[in-house]
Amino acid sequence: MNRNRLVLMMGLAVLLAGSFYWQATKGLPSEAELVTFTPALPSTVRDVNGAIVTSYTRERRIFVPYAELPPRLLQAFVSAEDKGFFEHEGIDWLGIVRAVFTNIGSIFSDQRPVGASTITQQVAKGLVGNEVSLWRKIREAILARRLEAALSKQQILEIYLNQIFMGRNAYGVEAAAQAYFGKSVDGLDLAQMAYLAILPKAPSTYDPVRRRERALDRRDYVLRQMAANGHITEAERGIAAATPLDAVANRALPRPRDDYFIEDVRRTLIAQFGEAQDNGPNSVYGGGLWIRTSLDPVMQAAAEQAMRDGMIRYEAGRAWRGPAARIDMGAKDSGAWPGRLSGTQVPLGYPRWVKAVVLARQGNDSTIGFTDGRTDTLRARNAARPYRATGRSAAQVLRPGDVIAVTSGGNGWALRQPPEISGGMVVEEVASGRVRAMVGGFDARAQAFNRATQANRQPGSTFKPIVYATAMDNGFTPASIVVDGSYCVFQTKLLGTKCFRNFNNMRSAGPQTMRWGLEQSRNLMTVRIADATGMDRIVAQAKALGVGDYQPVLSIALGAGETTVMKLTNAYAQIFNQGRKLQPGLIDYVQDRSGKLIWRRDNRGCPGCNAPDWNGGPMPRPQGRIEQVMDARTAYQILHVMEGVIQRGTGTALLPLNRPLAGKTGTTNGPNDVWFVGGTQDVVAGLYLGYDQPRSLGGYAQGGTTAAPIWRQWGQTALKDWPTLPFAIPPGVRMVRVDRRSGKRVFGVWPDPGYKPAVIWEAFKPDSEPRRINRANDVFDRRSAGPIRSDAEFLESEGGIY
């Protein structure tokens, strides 16, 4: 009986022990999982040239392999944290016993309780959690044993030195070296390595600024341990101990300059790979991805500068609207204003603009403070902008607590005002659809809304090329005559008759060519052409180009349907690309942390593209069917007409760029928005300006006078080093000499240099060009010297279209 009871009790004990062990190990990674363990790493973003732009991270962390860590650094951490690391098997039992007796003694004294965690246990702690309990310590010990069984000492130490929190939002020794000393680990001296080794215990306790003496005492302890363990000589210890603690000031993680572009990339990546490590091994925050984008730093910087200058230029001379924000300057915590100012969002835009708060007034001068606690004076003469309609200046109405934008110049600090108007701009590569630059507003730090991709606005006359292109697909030509005269249509019995008018009520010009109508952006001609072509065909073409899905009503022909800058710019890029479909994209490809390609924008195969040498055959081309969203000949016809918009139409502001350009201006009703979209054979850029809550910009605001100069400023910088190329003519296009105003075919006269010749080359599809009516009356210029040249001979001698 007693024997049976003993067996039963032993069985119950085994069952309880097994249940305890099962509960303790529940959810812990297995040895097989530990072998493949990868630490969380930030994802790095590169531009089109491969240069690093920024990283997506919530923690400052830079991974360094064990082999690249300085030996002295390894010795410093082992001496400070776990001198028996290379001897024990994950748990230092003797150290635990010592810690128990020490902590019992600390109850009766002022001695600080000590822990007994090995480096392996600290790695395990990062996987188990920070809960302060005996249960967590048991799980931590079990996992430490598993780590020792699955990984080598070097691998465990590598994980530890790249994972441990070391203050200043730095995780791992490389991030800490840069956060505290502004250099990489391989540039640290012995004293700096010893200082880093003290941080895992309590980073804030050993802060190099606020706790300098405690930090030096602990650093010297590590140096003594290194000498006692034989890692350094006594002379080296003495030199290092005498070295001052020269840590740099704490610096926040830098924000990327190209915020709108980078944020759009981030959103795309999160949708594709997930945000955190829980979403998979290739997550954006923790996956250590390498992202190659199409961001062109020159074009991006030029776009930002041009857009900001355009907004400021539009608002020049307007009254000061008041402070950007206000903060509490209460007497109880009057010294807290730098922190409150830091947390206030102000759209600054320009790198030279900074935010400040008014601290006090002395007459009309103001004492202002900055986020770092500094103070200075804002003179009244530098804040003389009139305040609204009060008759007073900004200097007279500033009061303590006002948050303002200022910039420093030769006459001291000067008041600035973030513009109320905003807008968006996109630059796209014609051959591939890669987005080279994107601007979504004045400053992404205070305006997260991306107007390049998220703002739906009416495009106005920039929609007209789609109307004219559709007409050319349905019997019209650039030389077709259309009446620029009053045009009314009966809508419904309820709505009655709708009569259209030209922009600014310009009077009718009578019969004119379609080319002239688009160059001069005539609304009446556009509506007449749209009605004759059929709005169902026009909205179908707009949908194919990706501009929008509209109802077939005539007002759509004048740009009444909403779209985004991204969509409209991509539509133009497809026209410039001979009607071939393009999908705009900001990311070229993504690699995982080991460099393996895991996503690529262009997945077409290209046999022979990576061949070591030319085999004498045709040039290899990417495979895959190219989708045409517009007839290539039609695309060139409308492109050729849009060249005239720049040469003698509403886009002449771009003539100083002195290169082949095509594009179209746009001005909506109000006018609420002004647009320009256009480009070269290589790139297309589109932009708009307008208030976020649409309202009139003023009658003087037009696409040609407000938006086009922004494009010109961008082009002067962005296109400076790009080749000057004529637009490519697709097969099947006939270039015929016509009278520019009448559209009639011309014989014996050649186009003159300049932008307003009487005779031009016009693009026609076969059998659509104007015919010779009376052969006897077609007299060539017999007075010119030399033989009569054919059109082909002239084109060849002039190097293309003239």
pLDDT digit string (tens) for 551-592? 999 999 999 999 999 999 999 999 999 999 999 999 999 999
Which comes out higher in pLDDT, residue 168 or 38? 168
Rg (CA), the chain: 36
Active-site residue, selected from the candidate residues 43, 294, 393, 461: 461
Average pLDDT over residues 189-214: 89
Q: Compute CA 689 distance to the chain's CA centroid, rounded to the nearest angstrom.
A: 19
Burial of 658: CB neighbours in 10 Å, binned 0-12, 13-18, 19+: exposed
Burial of 524: CB neighbours in 10 Å, binned 0-12, 13-18, 19+: buried
Contact 638, 469 (CB under 8 A): yes
For residue 465, what are the CA distances in angstroms to 551, 680, 738? 18, 16, 21
Contact 76, 226 (CB under 8 A): yes
Q: Per the structure block, which two tokens stand in for 721?
A: 């080093």
Question: Across-strand partners of 402?
Answer: 326
Binning pLDDT at 50, 70 and 90, where does residue 102 land?
low
Contact 763, 735 (CB under 8 A): yes
Phi, psi angle pair for 199, to nearest 5°? -70, -35
- Identify which of 516, 513, 729 has the alpha carbon closest to the alpha carbon of residue 635: 729
DSSP 476-519: --TT-EEEES-EEEEEETTTEEEEE--GGGPPP-EEEEHHHHHH
| Alpha carbon distance 736, 795 (integer Å) | 11
Residue 19: pLDDT above 50?
Answer: yes
> What confidence score (pLDDT) does residue 509 get?
85
Where does residue 251 fall: left (phi above 0), alpha (psi -120 to 50 degrees), or beta otherwise? beta
| Alpha carbon distance 797, 658 (integer Å) | 21
Return the percentage of the chain with pLDDT > 70, whole number: 84
- Identify which of 103, 84, 102 has the alpha carbon closest to the alpha carbon of residue 93: 84
Residue 93: pLDDT above 50?
Answer: yes
pLDDT digit string (tens) for 258-311? 589 999 999 999 999 998 776 678 999 888 899 999 999 999 999 999 999 999
> What confidence score (pLDDT) does residue 157 get?
83
Q: Between β-strands 435-439 and 402-409, what pairing exists: parallel, antiparallel or unpaired?
A: unpaired
DSSP 166-229: -STTEESHHHHHHHHHSS-GGG--HHHHHHHHHTTT-TTTT-TTTTHHHHHHHHHHHHHHHHHT
Which comes out higher in pLDDT, residue 383 or 409? 383
Residue 195: pLDDT above 80?
Answer: yes
Q: Residue with structure tokens 């200097």?
A: 395
Residue 350: pLDDT above 60?
Answer: yes
Q: Peptide bond preceding 671: is omega within 30 degrees of 0, i.e. cis? A: yes
| Alpha carbon distance 212, 89 (integer Å) | 36
> What confidence score (pLDDT) does residue 379 get?
95
CA geometry: angle at 24 spanning 18 and 27, to 5°? Answer: 115
Mean pLDDT score across all residues of the chain: 85
Contact 220, 240 (CB under 8 A): no
The residue type found at 759 is: V
- Identify which of 186, 190, 177, 187 has the alpha carbon closest to the alpha carbon of residue 237: 190
Phi, psi angle pair for 172, to nearest 5°? 95, 160
| Alpha carbon distance 559, 669 (integer Å) | 10
| Alpha carbon distance 794, 666 (integer Å) | 36
Residue 461 bears catalytic tag: yes
Contact 540, 534 (CB under 8 A): no
Q: Per the structure block, which two tokens stand in for 602?
A: 């262009």
Q: Between β-strands 325-326 and 52-56, what pairing exists: parallel, antiparallel or unpaired?
A: unpaired
Which comes out higher in pLDDT, residue 525 or 172? 525
- Identify which of 127, 57, 35 has the alpha carbon closest to the alpha carbon of residue 289: 57
Binning pLDDT at 50, 70 and 90, where does residue 201 land?
confident
| Alpha carbon distance 128, 141 (integer Å) | 10
Phi, psi angle pair for 130, to nearest 5°? -105, 15
| Alpha carbon distance 582, 571 (integer Å) | 8
For residue 572, what are the CA distances in angstroms to 197, 516, 676, 686, 707? 58, 20, 11, 9, 17
Q: Per the structure block, which two tokens stand in for 484?
A: 């620029």
> What confidence score (pLDDT) does residue 80 get?
85
- Identify which of 27, 17, 235 has the alpha carbon closest to the alpha carbon of residue 124: 27
> What confidence score (pLDDT) does residue 314 get?
95
Active-site residue, selected from the candidate residues 55, 79, 81, 366: 81
Residue 798 bears catalytic tag: no
pLDDT digit string (tens) for 625-683? 789 999 999 999 999 999 999 999 999 999 999 999 999 999 999 899 999 999 999 99
Q: Between β-strands 510-513 and 481-484, what pairing exists: parallel, antiparallel or unpaired?
A: antiparallel
Average pLDDT over residues 770-777: 56
- Identify which of 208, 33, 24 has the alpha carbon closest to the alpha carbon of residue 128: 24
